[in-house]
Chain A
Amino acid sequence: MMAVIEENPGYKWVGTRPIRPDGLEKITGKAQFGADSILPGMLYGSVVRSPHAHARILSIDMSVAKSMPGVKAVITSADFPDLALNGGSAGDIDMSNNVMARAKVLYEGHVVAAVAANTREQAKAAADAVIVNYEVLPHVLTVDEAMADNAPLLHDGMYTKGIDPKPEKPSNVASRVVHERGDLDKGFAEADLVIEREYTTKPVHQGYIEPHAAVADANSDGRAHIWCSSQGHFQMRAHTATVLGVSPGTIKVTAAEIGGGFGGKTVVYLEPLAVRLSQRAGRPVKLVMDRDEVFRASGPTSGTRIKVKMGVTNEGQLTAADVWMGYEAGAFSGSPVGAAGMTVIACYDIPNFFVEGFDVVVNKPRVAAYRAPGAPMAAFAVETVMDELARGINIDPIDLRLQNAVVEGTQASYGPKFPRIGFVETLEAIKNHPQYTAELGPNQGRGVAAGFWFNAGMNSSATVHINENGTATVVVGSPDIGGSRQSMALMAAEELGISYENIKPVVADTETVGFNDVTGGSRVTLATGAAVVDACRVITADLRARAAKTWDVEIDDVEWVDGQAQHVDGSQPPLSLADLAGKSGRTGGPISATASLNARGVGAAFSTQLCDVEVDPETGITRVIRYVSAQDAGRAISPAYVEGQMQGGVAQGIGWALNEEYIHNSSGVMENASFLDYRIPVASDLPMIDTVIVEVPNPAHPYGVRGVGEVGIVPPMAAVANAISDAAGVRMKDLPMSPVKLLEALNEKGK
C-alpha cells in the first residue's frame, strides 16, 4: 500500500517494480558469494579461538601443529605489527586486537592463532593441535557486573570519557553521553501522570544467513587480492591494510554477493588472517566461519539496561523524560549508546529531559552495527512507557504520539531543528489503516510503537558508460545488500531516458571504481544514487553537445527529452542515445562520466507500526497474527525492495522481541551458538507483514530519497510488548519475551 503525500511528478521508471538485476544468477545458483571463490593451489584456513571469556595468554606452542600433514602456515599475533608500539590510534589498536588477541583474550571465541593447510580437515586438525596456555581471569558479562564496584577490568587503561573531573581510577565504562534540556523537576511537577520503568535487553545477532568468508591471494611483491562478502570492500581494504601495517594500495578487494549483513559485515575479521596466511604459505588461502564461530566471534548488538521515567498531563502533553542507559560494547569500547542517546526520545517534542548513557565493556564479542544501531533497545523502553502513559490518561496511543510528534522545525532532542520529515504521516497512515480498528478475538491484543533513525550520507562514487548501441553500464562501489543495483538502474533510466532493461548495474572492485564508504546507514540509494544521477547528468549534457555538433547548432538549442536529443524548434530529426552512441567516435569519442561526492541533504526516517498478537495463557507462547508497518521512504525508487526492507526489519524485530538472545553460562561461554538453539523467526512463525510506504520526499535529494534499510527494526519490540500487554494484561520489561517469561508473568498476575 502507498500513502501518497506528494504525487509522482511523472516518473517513467522510478517507482516501478521491474525484474531485479541479480535475480537470475541468484535463483540459478550462479551468483558468487564469499565462500564460492576457488583458486588454483588454494589452501584452507582454520582459526584457533579462546575457550575462556577472559584470560591472559601465557604461551602458544605451535610446534606440533606446524609438523602435521598438509600444514603450510601457522600465525599468531606475533605475525602482525603491534599498533600500540607504532603510534596506532586507539580504534585501530582495538580493531587489530580483535582480529588477533595479543596479551589477553577478552571473550570466548577471541582469535589466538590461525592455520592454513591443504585441506579443510588438515587445517582443523592442526588448529586443534595448537597448545595455548592461559591464566584464566575473572570476567564480567553484563552492564551490572561490569559497572559494579571492584569489577574485574578488561582494560587497565580505560578511564571514562565525558566525566568531569576525569576519574582517578580505570573502569569498564569507556564513555558517558548526556543530552539535556529544560528543568526536569519542573517538568515532572507539571505532569498529572508519571511512569517510571526499568528494562533489559540481551545481545542479539544480526543473523545473516551467509557466514563471513574471505579468500586471499598474496603475491611475492607484497600485493594481495581478497574476495570477500562484506558491506564495504573499500573498508575491508582499509582495515586489512591497517591490521597488516601496509598501504591500502597494495590490496585489491573484490566484492562477492552478500547473503545478508544488517550492519554486521562492516567489520574486518578474516581478511587480515587470510592475507597473512597466504603470504606465509605462498599460496591462496580461504577462510570461512562456521555458524558457531559467527555467533561466538562476530558482532552481535548490545545487551542493555535502560531506565525511563516520563511525565504527561491529563491533556496528553509530555512534560519530562529522564532516561538512563547502559549499553554493552563487548570486549572493546564502541557500543551504539551515542546513537541511542540521540534517538531515544527523538520522536517527541519534550520540553524537559535528561538522557544519560554509558558505553560499557564486557567479556563478550565486540558488538557490531545492527540496523539503526542502538535505537531499537531505546525505543523498546520509551515506546512501552508511552503506551502506559496513553492508557493511564485514557487517550488513544496514536493520538498521544500525534500530539507530541516532532515536525519540520521542531528542535530535535539531539540538537538541530528537523528539516521536512514524515513522522506525523506515518502515525496517520497507521491510524487510518483498517487493521487499527479491526475486531480482536479472545486472548488477542493490539500494540503500536514508533521509531526514528537518522540515515546517513557519506562518500560515494559512480561511473556510467554508454555502450556503442545506446545501452548503459552503471558502475558503483557499494555492495548491494538491499536492492541498490535496481535503484541505481531505475534512477539512471529516468535520467538517460532509456529502458531499465538496457542498463546493467555493476558492483566493481576497489581498483575499478572510485572510493565508496560502506553500504550502511541506509545511505546507498541516497548517496551512491546521487553520484549516479550526477554522472548521468554529465552524460546528458555531453549528449546535447554532441547533437549540437552534429547539427552545427548551439548547445542551448538542444534538449534531452525521453532519451533523445531534440532541437528546441523541431527543425532537426531527433537523435536517440543509440544514434549518438553509434557515432560517438565522430563527436569526441566514447561517452562516459564519473561522479564522486560526500552526500548532503540526508533525510531522517520514521516508522510507525501496528502489531496484533495472540497469547496462549496455558503455554505463554505469543503468536504475531497481524502486522502493519508504515514508513516514510521519502520516495520509493524501487517499491518492492522498500517493502522488503520494511518487512525484513519487522521480522528481525519480532525475533528480537520474542525469541532471540545470547545465553552464556557462568564461565562466560555461549551456550546457544547455533540456529537450533538461537531461534530466529522463520516464515511459518510470521504473518504477512503489511506495508504502507509513506512518501514525504526529501527535498534535498534529486528523487526525494531518504533511505529505508534501518528504521523498520526500531519499533517492533515495543509494538509486540504493547500488544502482549493488551492481550494478557502483563507488562513485559525484559527481552526476549519468551514463553517461559510470559508464563511466569501470567502466573504472578494470577496470584
Chain B
Amino acid sequence: MARVHLSAGLRDLTGGVANIEIEASTVGRLIKSLDQMFPGIGSRLSEGSSVAINGEILTDAEYEKIPASAEIHFLDILQGG
C-alpha cells in the first residue's frame, strides 16, 4: 500500500482528507484510483503536478512504478530559471 499525502491545495476536492493509503502499481493507476474517490482530482494531478516517490521528485511519471509502502506526494509543477 502506498501512503499518499494530499496537499492542502487539493483538499477542496478531497473533503479535507490529507492522507490516504492506496494499492496502485503505477502513478497513473494511482491517479485513476484517486479520481474515483475524489472526482475531479485526476485532471488536476495529471496536468498540474509533479510527483515525489520516497522523496525523489519526478515529472511525466504516469508509468512510474510505485514500490511497496512508498510515500507519495503530489507537488506543483515547478518553473526553473
Contacts and interface: CB of A to CB of B under 8 A. Distances in A.
Interface string B1-33: 000010111011000000000000000000000
B76 A456 contact: no
A177 B57 contact: no
Contacts of B7: 178-179, 415
B78 A371 contact: no
13 contacts: A177-B9, A263-B80, A264-B81, A266-B81, A342-B76, A371-B81, A372-B81, A373-B79, A416-B55, A416-B57, A458-B59, A521-B81, A598-B60
Give 3 closest A-B pairs by Cβ, nearest first.
A521-B80, A263-B81, A164-B12
Interface in A167-204: 176-180
B12 A162 contact: yes
Contact of B80 (A163, A180, A341, A523): A523
A17 interface: no
A415 B52 contact: yes
A301 to B, nearest CB: 9
Contacts of B8: 178-180
A515 to B, nearest CB: 12
Contacts of B12: 162-165
B58 interface: yes
Contacts of A262: 81
A417 B60 CA distance: 20
B59 A457 contact: yes
B55 A700 contact: no
A458 B54 CA distance: 18
A515 B58 CA distance: 18
Given A338-B77, A459-B60, 10 more contacts: A262-B81, A336-B79, A338-B78, A416-B73, A417-B71, A457-B58, A520-B80, A520-B81, A521-B79, A600-B58
B57 A339 contact: no
* Interface size band for A: 35 or more
Given A178-B9, A598-B59, A601-B56, A710 B80 contact: yes
Contacts of A602: 56-57
A385 B80 CA distance: 26
B52 A373 contact: no
Nearest to A522: B80
Nearest to B73: A415
A588 to B, nearest CB: 34
A369 B76 contact: no
Interface string A448-475: 0000001111110000000000000000
Interface in A246-278: 262-264, 266
A336 B80 CA distance: 10
The majority secondary structure among interface residues of chain A is: loop
A454 B59 CA distance: 13
B34 interface: no
Contacts of B11: 164
B9 A454 contact: no
B26 to A, nearest CB: 15
Interface in A133-167: 162-165
Contacts of B81: 206, 262-264, 266, 369-373, 520-521, 709-710
A667 B15 CA distance: 44
Interface in A308-343: 336, 338-339, 341-342
Interface string A277-302: 00000000000000000000000000
Interface string A493-524: 00000000000000000000000001011110
A95 to B, nearest CB: 14
B51 to A, nearest CB: 9
Nearest to B12: A164
Nearest to A176: B9
B58 to A, nearest CB: 7
A341 B79 CA distance: 13
A178 B76 CA distance: 11
Interface in B57-81: 57-60, 71, 73-81
Contacts of A455: 80
Contacts of A436: none
A520 B81 CA distance: 5
Contacts of B58: 457, 600
A102 B12 CA distance: 34
A164 B73 CA distance: 21
A264 to B, nearest CB: 8
Contacts of B77: 338
Contacts of B52: 415-416
A419 interface: yes
Contact of A454 (B54, B57, B60, B74): B57
B32 to A, nearest CB: 21
Contact of B79 (A162, A339, A414, A700): A339
Contacts of B59: 457-458, 598
A164 B9 CA distance: 10
A551 interface: no
B5 A415 contact: yes
Interface in A544-589: none
A495 to B, nearest CB: 24
Contacts of B9: 162, 176-179
A390 B14 CA distance: 39
Contacts of A414: 73, 75
A80 interface: no
Nearest to A372: B81
A342 B9 CA distance: 12
A372 B12 CA distance: 28
A728 B12 CA distance: 47
B2 to A, nearest CB: 13
Contacts of B55: 416-419
A342 B79 contact: no
B56 A700 contact: yes
A593 B74 CA distance: 35
Nearest to B81: A263
B56 A339 contact: no
A459 B58 CA distance: 11
Contacts of B73: 414-416
Contacts of A266: 81
A258 to B, nearest CB: 14
Nearest to A523: B80
Interface string A368-387: 01111100000000000000
Contacts of A338: 76-78
Nearest to A357: B9
Contacts of B60: 459, 598
A731 to B, nearest CB: 28
A322 to B, nearest CB: 14
